[in-house]
Structure formats: C-alpha cells, structure tokens
Amino acid sequence: MTLVDAAGVLVGLLLVLLLVMAWRLRAARAGEIRTRARLASLLENDEAGLAVWDAGGRLVACNGRFREFYPAVTLKPGLEFEDLVRYTATRAVVVIPEAEIGAWIDERLAGRGEAVAETLRTPDGRWIEIRTRPTVQGETLLVYADVTAIRSAATEGVASEPAASSQGTVGMLQDAMALGREAVSFHQAVRELARLLAAWGGWDAGTAYLAPADGSGALVSTGVWHVGDERIVPQETRAGLDACCDDTDDHVLRRAVTSAESTWVANVAVDPRLSDARRAALGQIRSLHAIPVACRGTVVAVFELFAGTPTVPEPLRERLVAAAVGELGHVFERERTALSSGAEHDAVGRSD
C-alpha cells in the first residue's frame, strides 16, 4: 500500500468516526430535549406539588406548589432526598408521632424507588396525600396533594348520615381518589366513576362530555355511559342526549362550562334551564346533575348523572359528588401529558 493509499484509508476512517460522533451527539440532544419537555409538562401542573429526583436521590426540579409545603427551605437542585425526608419528619411538616419518626424515615428512604401513597395531617389541620412514583428513566416523582376538602366532605357525610350510608360515602370517596391517582384513561375513569356514583347515590346512569380547547363552550360526547337501568335510560335516550349535548339553548351544560358551577335539576319537566331538544331527549329521566371537570383551572369536561325519579338537591351530596368528579381532572391531565410526550417522541424520531 502506497503512502497515498494509506492516507486515503485514514481519512475515510476519520470521516466514519466523525459521523458516528455526530449521530451520537444528535441522539443525546434529542434525548435531552425529550427529558426537558417531559419535566416541563410535569412541573406546569399547579394543582399538586411536584418534585423530580434523579436516580441518585438528588433533586432535579420542583414546581412552585411543592415549594409552598417548605416555606423555610431553599429547594435547590442537588438537594438530597434523604435530607428532605428527615426535615419533613423532624420539623413537623406533617404530624408523625415522635416514637414513630425513625421508622417513618427508614420506610420512606427504602421505598424511594417504589410506588407508595399515604395521607398525613399537617400541624395546621390540613390533610396531605404524599405519593412516590418511580419512572422508567430511573427518576422518582414526589407528589403532594391537598385532600382536605375530600376528607372534610367524607367527615361531614359520616356525621350526618346513618352508619351504613356513611361507610359507603367514605368508600366511594376513597375509590374516587384511587381513580384520580392511578387511572390512565379518562374515558375508562368516566365509566368507573359513573358506576361508583350510581351505586352510592342511587343514580340510574352517568356520562361525560368533552369541552373543546378553543373555549367555544360547545361540548362533544365521549360516548361513554354507565347505565344501571336500561328501562329508564335505553339506547335511544343515550343516543339522543349524545346528539344534542352541544345545544346552545341548554343552560345546564353551558353553565357548567362557562361558570364552572354544577347544576342539579330536580324535575326536568318544568325546569326552564333545559332546552326543548334536551328535554325531549331525556325520555323517562326525571332528574339530573351536571358537574364541571376542571384541569389547571379550565373546564375540560362536564360529567352528568341521571335519575328516573325526581330528586331534591342536597348541598352535602352536591359537595361529595363535586369532590369525586374533581378527581377526573387529574386523570385528564395525566392522559394529556402522556399523549403530548408520545407525540413529541414521534416527532423527534421522524426528525432523526
């Protein structure tokens, strides 16, 4: 091989090496972009306190809501997970009996890479649900959610209802919270929540409508129903209600979207807030309850319950239903984040 040939081979090898290095750099940058986007979408959520910890147990980032739980602490990237756990227990961020502090700390540190959830009281009387969730990237998500309203509603229910009914109320709220914490499909969560509320409150059917992101106020049927009595809510009734859910003359559903307020109609035959089209579509239904579903302060859906008999509105039951339906907002956000991350991943893949 001549000197010229050897030089040519060497140049070729260098070019190949440069191409490999460029490809790896591009892949690393794409991975970094995906990671930043995923973190950004998580931390935009202001309904719960969120903190992300790397595989080594150091703080990567947290949102403003999470910082509110630690007003006396500067939460900087690099903070040790163990330090925060010890501070939480020993400085009464949550109330833990003194004799149990050591065991609680050990359990939290041992369970950092596991899915764990617990609800604890704060010194000022609030109730905080603390969830730890591992990610496929080896990170740990720490989620703090104030569930005082739900706990208070459950307590009121226990105080004012017979024992068997109050136990059902607590169970219903616990199941609703579990849906909000674990469900990955909004449509499936709607069906399951409708089943829960029908069994608890005596409703005969339930469904939900989606509110478009353009803010037009028009609603689109999810097509998801739970029906307990086909005689009261047959297929033709469901189809009719799905078809006219965006009726601009109906002030029940419109109010839920525009004012984020629920409406309980005791007698559909005489209530002037219902449009003629919706009244005709209701068939054998005599009462309904429309409840907005909010995500990041915006109504994203309306959940509706139906009964075959006139039912008088009860403030306590309205609050309980609103608390349960509010859990759907967490499912909606989780599904939207997952879809957004998937779309971004596909876009990056195509660009590669």
How much of the chain, in percent, has pLDDT values that exceed 70? 78
Point out which residues pair with 52 in neighbouring strands.
Answer: 61, 141
Distance of CA 231 to the CA centre of its chain: 33
User: Mean pLDDT in the chain?
Assistant: 81
348's tokens:
């990056």
Contact 167, 148 (CB under 8 A): no
Give Cα separations from 204 to 22, 153, 159, 231, 288 (angstroms): 62, 23, 26, 10, 10
Distance of CA 69 to the CA centre of its chain: 20
Q: Supply the DSSP string of 280-323, one letter for each residue.
A: HHTTT--EEEEEEEEETTEEEEEEEEEESS-----HHHHHHHHH
Q: What is the pLDDT of residues 134-158, one digit of tens each?
A: 887 788 889 898 888 777 766 555 4
Nearest to residue 49, comparing CAs of 113, 129, 136, 149? 129
Fill in the amino acid letter for 222.
T
Contact 176, 196 (CB under 8 A): yes
pTM, entire model: 0.59
Contact 248, 284 (CB under 8 A): no
Q: Is residue 270 scored above 70 in pLDDT? A: yes
248's tokens:
């601009």
Start and end residues for every CATH 3.30.450.20 domain found in the chain: 40-146
347's tokens:
């876009």
Point out which residues pair with 302 in neighbouring strands.
Answer: 209, 292
pLDDT at 164: 38
Gap between the Cα atoms of 191 and 117, Å rounded:
24
Query: What class has domain 40-146?
Result: alpha beta
Query: What class has domain 153-335?
Result: alpha beta
What value does the mean pLDDT take over residues 5-26?
Answer: 50
Helix (H, G, I), strand (E, B) or coil at 76: coil
Give Cα separations from 182 to 21, 131, 194, 222 (angstroms): 41, 11, 17, 20
**Terminal-residue alpha carbon distance, the chain:** 38
Start and end residues for every CATH 3.30.450.40 domain found in the chain: 153-335
Contact 61, 52 (CB under 8 A): yes
280's tokens:
């005709």
Q: What is the pLDDT of residues 163-204, one digit of tens each?
A: 334 447 888 888 999 999 899 899 999 999 999 999 999 999
Q: What is the pLDDT of residues 42-69, one digit of tens each?
A: 456 567 888 999 999 999 999 988 998 9
